[in-house]
A and B are shown apart, each in its own frame.
Chain A
């Protein structure tokens, strides 16, 4: 039944692409995130659905899409360089067979992340991509959250559609991705036009956010808890009602605490006492090994080079009984342990140049989103403070948003902030999980590039800026036009 339903859904989605080829891009996102071919056992599992969707998305763009507004960006060039560099390190990898296996999915994820921004020419496309990412990952999150509530959670034991541990179906990765999804869900609930804001959207969004927050509990992944804490702190930076939000967060934490299973609180307590925890000690030992390795191999050892490591480290446990504390040190030997950190994964596998490129891609994203957040946030304030803008009526343009004719609802700055928050959460989670090439995150980078080039085309021309300086009233009107007006080829704006 599930098998048939998933096959029918994908076939219909692909068929709809003949009318709107952009749906093929969405189909690829769906297939890459959920991996229906892994969940089902019939037709889908026998077909190379991912390849079919990618070819369809690419051909759809090449043959039928308007490419006038398609622009490349600096970060896409960086990703292309990283792709070529990874290809070169794979050829010279220390473990060629294993490296080729990882390269087989890494190049696809990178190529798609480079390709995606070219297709994001309209606001609706950007929104559609985010919606599909949220709903598709939401399928895994909702299932995991319900099982957690029913008591089916546990480290490595939360079953999510499939039994394998790949992609988003790995606990730590899912908990990091689920938390990074929260800002995007909030944005969709506030500024969505496919599902315009109303009580049903708000209810579903609140439930989905709750489900996302439950994933670190269900998977008992400490990374998720750290990500959630970081997100809470960062959210306050852009939030308007800070005191209310802090109070709500504190109340939620207090209410949730008694309901958490003992195994969860026990595992989370090891965050403070890393020395006694073998998992944390292994990480530290692997990281030390990586630093030693790149000293001898500054260009990295290629994918899966961690198989070369042989570790010897000590774990220290302290047992307190009454006033006596007994400290026990135990020597542990291990080998072939994964990096458990994206930073060290990049350093060990791709060396300093690879790490540099990857960091440049990530950090430039943070900077670009900050620029957009400030630029468009300022513009929204000008618009709100000046004359009532075209496209936004007294009810906040709700009726027009429904029709999607006007998009002057100040969506740009909040989206930039949401994408930035998601990325910060990912970068924090990356400290403890090796997800440097996680396709979901690379899609997020693709969306950032798309938003950057889209809004770059929407920059007001010099005339509107001059008029804004000369006459605040006229300037407000110009700013309001530019805030929502569709970009044209010349960069000027067409009135609504």
Chain B
């Protein structure tokens, strides 16, 4: 019973922490955004093709007011 409580409490909090981390952009990247050629998607989204990079470049240019 005690073991079950300790495991349930800690795992509940760990699960909640993981859930919150999934929604946090600053887990993988800090600041307003990376330079365009090095822009990354989330997780394995980073491995996607050129389309992502072009979009990110446009967004970065807009941020800079170009």
Residues of A near any B CB (own CB < 8 A): 1-2, 5-6, 9, 12-13, 16-23, 26, 30, 39, 60, 63-66, 68, 121-125, 128, 131-132, 135-136, 138-140, 142-143, 146-147, 150, 161, 194-195, 204, 404-405, 485-488, 494
B21 and A147: CB pair below 8 A? no
Q: Shortest distance in angstroms between A356's beta carbon and chain B's nearest beta carbon?
A: 37
B51 within 8 A of A: no
Do B46 and A20 touch (CB < 8 A)?
Answer: no
Contact with A along B27-60 (1 / 0, CB 8 A): 1111110100010101110110000000000000
Contact at B44–A136, with CB atoms within 8 Å? no
Which of A2, A5, A121, A128 makes the CB contact (< 8 A) with B17?
A128
Give A485's nearest chain B residue, CB to CB. B31
Do residues A124 and B21 form an inter-chain contact, with CB atoms below 8 A?
A: yes
Please determine whether B3 and A2 come into contact, CB atoms closer than 8 angstroms. yes
Interface string of B1-44 (1 = CB under 8 A from A): 01111111111011111101110101111111010001010111
- Is B6 a contact of A142 with CB atoms below 8 Å? yes
Instruction: Let me know if B14 and A132 touch, CB within 8 A.
Output: yes
Evaluate contact between A136 and B27: CB separation under 8 angstroms: no
Task: Give complex CA distance A18, B24 in Å.
Answer: 15
State the B residues within 8 Å of A (CB).
Answer: 2-11, 13-18, 20-22, 24, 26-32, 34, 38, 40, 42-44, 46-47
Residues of A within 8 A of B4 (CB): 1-2
Whether B43 pairs with A18 at a CB distance below 8 angstroms is yes
A122 adjacent to B10 (CB under 8 Å): no
Minimal Cβ-Cβ distance residue in A for B32: A494
The answer to whether A20 touches B20, judged by C-beta atoms less than 8 angstroms apart, is: no
Q: How far is the CB of A20 from chain B (nearest CB, A)?
A: 5
The tally of CB-CB contacts under 8 A between chains A and B is 127
Q: Of A2, A13, A17, A23, which is within 8 A of B7 by CB?
A: A2
User: A124–B22 contact, CB under 8 A?
Assistant: no
Assess whether A20 is in contact with B28, with CB atoms less than 8 Å apart: yes
* Residues of the B chain whose Cβ atoms lie less than 8 Å from the Cβ of A121: 28
How far is it, in angstroms, between the C-alpha of A370 and the C-alpha of B13 when the chains are bound? Answer: 31
8 Å CB contact of A136 from B10, B24, B43: B10
Chain A residues within 8 Å of B7, by CB: 2, 5-6, 39, 139, 143, 161
Can you list the 8 inter-chain pairs with the closest CB atoms, starting with the nearest?
Answer: A486-B30, A143-B6, A139-B10, A486-B31, A142-B6, A146-B2, A124-B27, A19-B43
Q: Does the CB pair A20–B22 fall under 8 Å? A: yes
The residue in B15, B27, B47 that gathers the most chain A C-beta atoms within 10 A of its C-beta is: B27
Q: Which of B5, B6, B26, B43 contacts A64 (CB 8 A)?
A: B43
Q: How far is the CB of B49 from chain A (nearest CB, A)?
A: 14
Known: A122-B26, A195-B20. 14 other contacts (CB 8 A): A19-B42, A20-B28, A23-B18, A23-B22, A60-B43, A66-B28, A122-B28, A135-B17, A136-B14, A138-B10, A142-B6, A150-B2, A194-B24, A195-B17
When C-beta atoms are compared, the residue in chain A nearest to B40 turns out to be: A66
**Bound Cα distance from A63 to B47, whole angstroms:** 8
Q: A128-B27, A486-B31, A494-B32 are in contact. Are A13 and B2 (CB under 8 A)?
A: no
Q: In the bound complex, how far is the Cα of B14 from the Cα of A449, in angstroms?
A: 24
Q: List 22 A-B contacts (CB under 8 A).
A: A5-B7, A9-B15, A12-B18, A18-B43, A19-B42, A20-B21, A20-B22, A20-B27, A22-B21, A64-B43, A66-B29, A66-B34, A122-B26, A122-B28, A124-B27, A128-B27, A135-B13, A142-B9, A195-B16, A195-B20, A488-B31, A494-B31
Q: Are A146 and B26 in contact (CB under 8 A)?
A: no
Known: A64-B47, A124-B26, A486-B30. A142 touches B14 (CB 8 A): no
Distance of A62 Cα from B50 Cα, bound (Å): 19
